[in-house]
Chains A and B, each alone.
Chain A
Amino acid sequence: MLGAILTGVIFALVLVFFGRFLKRRLAILFAAVPLGLFLYFSQYIKPIANGDIITQSVSWLPSFGINLDFTLDGLSLMFSLLITGIGFLVFLYASEYLKGHQYLDRFYGYLGLFMAAMLGVVLSDNVVTLFLFWEITSISSFFLIGFNNNDKASRKSAITALSLTGFGGVLFLGFSLILGSIAGTYSITEMLNAKELIVQSDYYIPIIILLFGAAFTKSAQFPFHFWLPGAMRAPTPVSTYLHSATMVKAGVYLLMRFTPVLGGPDSWHYTLLAVGGVTMVYAAVQIVSKTDLKAILAYSTISALGVMIFLTGLGTNKAILAASVFILVHALYKATLFLITGIIDHKTHTRDIRKLSGLRKVMLPIAIIGLLAALSNGGVPPTFGFLGKDLIYEAALESERWNWLLTGASVFTNILLFYGGFQVGVKPFIGDLPAKYEKITMPKPQLWIPPAILALLSIVIGIFPLLIQDSLVVPTLNALHVLEDELHLKLWHGFNLVLGLSMLTILIGLLIYFKMQPSDKRTALFTKYEPLSPKAVILKGGFYFKKFSFKWTNFFQNGYLRNYINTILLFLVFLLGFLLISHIQLKMNFDAMTDITFPELATLIILIISVLFAVITQSRLAAVAALGIVGLSISLIFLFYSAPDLAMTQFSIDTLTMILFVLVLYRLPKYLNLTNPRNRIKDVIIATTFGTLIALLALEVWQVTNNNEVSRFYAEHAYTLAKGKNVVNVILVDFRGIDTLMESVVLTVAAIGVFSLLKLRLHQKD
């Protein structure tokens, strides 16, 4: 499975080097990658239907319990097949849709990376690895959404999407770490055994808040839904892939995956019910105000995601079954609708439903595909959609509480979804054909075959639901630990309430579709309330946050070295001073000190004189020289106290510092502009406090009876283990060698920093 994930990454890498040659004629061959992966996952359908679970573990950071654990169970398999299957069709479609695009290789690279990351998300059994892949989906989708990067609006949508999903990513990181530390494991499979522990822990509420934050931002739930319509700026194949089968379903996947671990308490179920319910109704209402094909699809996608979250929240066996089936139903019809929208856009260069009509006269097969998708979307028998909708109604009716409210909300949502589906899949094709569209011809097979396959599947599975019952649906339920004793997916349940509701949905949906034409007045009405929408509120918040951080940064990063030093010193003074005063009783034991010898006294006097000189002198160079004497005196003191290594280092560093100082001061203007007395007094106070504090600290450290086990270990083992007599150096190059290696990397980075800062300035002068 790691191999399957890596395939996508390697594909993306290969394109970096060879994309230029491959993209011209061979782009269609790229589709072989997802197709191969689809076949690879298909071979597991049978073993998993028999109850097997395929696992793979590659150790990564075993000491932290973080490993590349992959588990392929029913739920993962269903998602993997969707990701690779629809991925294949999208790869195929894009080869024609974006034919000759300048950056086609990049596009496929992002798409391959995204597919790999999605597979990683659904296959990972380790929450930390899962987080990693989760973040890669956010990042690669950023590049996909902003693919038309010369369009300002497109870039803005990409940033909005990244900010929201990235914010969710941070929450997810918090979630995985807290959950991992409570459960004592990062493995989701093992967490199942710790369920009681997790649910009864004090951190249960914070855990689910973090999880919900991550899932709701990714799956575009109210009030974080608005990045999804914005993401429609992406090329249509991207929208198809991200919004029908992958990206936005990741949140749903996550919630379903954790239902067996975290589900049960009311806070879990009611939050999901409320958020899912509000999202599905709110987004469904928004559909009627939209006139752009992709905008309609965006809101109907949000609404459908709301339905899935809503069902997960219901949490009954029926509801989980309905959610699992609906994921498949939605993926099939929504991908079809997106793909035909792409064809319409490609041929007519508009997506405005008020301008499109009569296209069946020039593209009859597309019209049929659109109709089939719209029927499945609307839940008209005998499509797969009908089956999915029935299950939703059954689940809502069986709810223990508020079943009429929940059923009502579901029916209302489905009516508007029906309307949206017909607007996209039927309306552009009926009526009279405007003269300007008469020359349109059928698109190439790469464009119409993918939606045709999906539309046919919607019908075939609808008529023969047994095709997926034992192979996909039952294993998914098993993976979620839902035990449905006898599952029979079928279209016809006899005349009952559910059928009545279904027919009602279809009738009202048709009625609205024929009576309510898209109007500017209604769009205007929605626009009027736009400032109150979550989008406006959150974006406004983001705006003020940016303003605040700008001010904050300007306050601290004001470019004056003296202010930086003051800030750092004051911060240290407060932090250390507070700890020293509140936690440590100062005690000095002067008797234990050795007597001061004459050389020490002499050095001390030289030191004090040079410090005073450095402060008083009016000449810069003299002050620097005085500081140099201070440094040398300190290295003498090191020598007195038998630390020759330190003394040598101090000596050379001091020499180099002096050279640097002189080099810099040499070019400064001769005149001295002293700061005003007030500033100098401030500096004196800060310097004295800091110096006193450090002196106190040094005295205190000396008082604390230290545990010298560590130094004894080094002293004893330096020669036996590392064959060196100089303990300091043995520690540097052997015992703590990795530290030294990293420090030399830091030094190098600092040197590069100095170099680039100064060189950049030089170039600006030129």
Chain B
Amino acid sequence: MNTIVLRTASNYLLPLLLLFSIFILLRGHNLPGGGFIGGLIAAIAFVLHAFANGLNRTKKLIKVHPGFIMPFGLAVSFLSALVPLLSNAPFMTGIWASDPIPVIGHIGSTLFFDLGIYITVLGVTLTIIFTISEAA
């Protein structure tokens, strides 16, 4: 699609949507949201950018092939699940910092777990959509 309106808008929408997806990710612990939905929204942001500017430019923007994002996300989730082992708690025990941090709120190992899910979902969705749009 080659419309000036969409192309201009997408340049502003991309950072906004990404911010929104992170907002969704962070609020997930207490309100509707979370890593899965956040990752989907982030993926939609990039797809919108690709629709407006062409796939190649979006790919350039991301720099790495989205396939490489997936294992990174898995690693983050897995490592966050390993952290409790350091303090002799069972695998995947939630560990929480005692004081809340402004804006983000309470920080715990589950947040990093959710962040990993966010990254994985983003990578998976982009991989599938990019591959199919290249092949089709």
Contact = CB atoms under 8 A, between A and B. Distances in A.
Nearest to A649: B37
| Secondary structure type dominating chain A contacts | helix
A649 B108 contact: no
A737 interface: yes
B136 interface: yes
B93 to A, nearest CB: 9
Nearest to B110: A733
A741 interface: yes
B53 interface: no
Interface in B41-66: 41, 43-44, 47
A725 interface: yes
Given A652-B41, A724-B30, A759-B131, A664 B70 contact: no
Interface string B108-136: 10100110110011011101110111111
A664 B108 CA distance: 41
A487 interface: no
Contact of A733 (B35, B121, B133): B35
B136 A747 contact: no
Q: Which of A652, A653, A745 has most B Cβ within 10 Å? A: A652
B16 to A, nearest CB: 16
B71 A726 contact: no
Interface in A738-766: 738, 740-741, 744-745, 747-748, 750-752, 754-755, 758-759, 761-762
A755 B33 CA distance: 28
Interface string A387-429: 0000000000000000000000000000000000000000000
A745 B78 CA distance: 10
A726 B32 contact: yes
Contacts of B123: 748, 751
30 contacts: A649-B37, A652-B41, A653-B40, A656-B40, A656-B43, A660-B128, A660-B132, A723-B96, A723-B108, A724-B30, A726-B31, A726-B32, A726-B33, A733-B34, A733-B110, A733-B114, A734-B94, A734-B110, A737-B81, A737-B92, A741-B78, A741-B81, A744-B124, A748-B124, A751-B67, A752-B67, A752-B127, A755-B67, A758-B132, A759-B135
B37 A648 contact: yes
B5 to A, nearest CB: 19
A652 B81 CA distance: 27
A653 B129 CA distance: 12
B132 A744 contact: no
Interface string B64-95: 00010011011001100100000000011010
Interface residues of B, number: 49
Contacts of B120: 744, 747-748
B47 A659 contact: yes
A660 B127 CA distance: 12
A51 to B, nearest CB: 41
A663 interface: yes
Given A722-B94, A747-B120, A754 B133 contact: no
A726 B73 contact: no
A660 B30 contact: no
Nearest to A748: B70
B96 A744 contact: no
Given A733-B114, A747-B120, A656 B29 contact: no
B14 to A, nearest CB: 16
A47 interface: no
A737 B36 CA distance: 13
A609 interface: no
A648 B33 contact: yes
A588 interface: no
B124 A726 contact: no
Nearest to B48: A659
A60 interface: no
Q: Which of A748, A751, A761 has most B Cβ within 10 Å? A: A751
A427 B72 CA distance: 68
A755 B78 contact: no
Chain A interface size, under 10 / 10 to 19 / 20 to 34 / 35 or more: 35 or more
Interface string A629-665: 0000000000000001100110011011001100110
A751 B71 CA distance: 11
A656 B40 CA distance: 8
A744 B117 contact: yes
A667 B108 CA distance: 46
B124 A751 contact: yes
B81 A732 contact: no
B67 A656 contact: no
A648 B106 CA distance: 24
B26 to A, nearest CB: 11
A645 B31 CA distance: 9
B71 A730 contact: no
Contacts of A40: none
A748 B131 CA distance: 14
Given A724-B110, A725-B30, A755-B127, 14 more contacts: A649-B36, A652-B40, A724-B29, A725-B29, A726-B29, A728-B34, A732-B35, A733-B114, A740-B77, A740-B113, A741-B81, A747-B121, A755-B131, A762-B135
The 7 closest A-B pairs by CB, nearest first: A725-B30, A652-B40, A644-B32, A758-B135, A751-B124, A751-B127, A724-B29
Contacts of A722: 94, 110
A664 B132 contact: yes
Contacts of B117: 733, 740, 744
Contacts of A761: 135
Contacts of A745: 74
A653 B44 CA distance: 10
B74 A744 contact: yes
B29 A660 contact: no
A655 B91 CA distance: 36
A729 interface: yes
Contacts of A755: 67, 127-128, 131
Contacts of A725: 29-31
A667 B136 contact: yes
B59 to A, nearest CB: 14
Nearest to A732: B34
B107 to A, nearest CB: 11
B100 to A, nearest CB: 11
Contacts of A644: 32
A578 interface: no
A659 B1 CA distance: 13
Contacts of B43: 656
Contacts of A571: none
Contact of A737 (B33, B41, B44, B113): B113
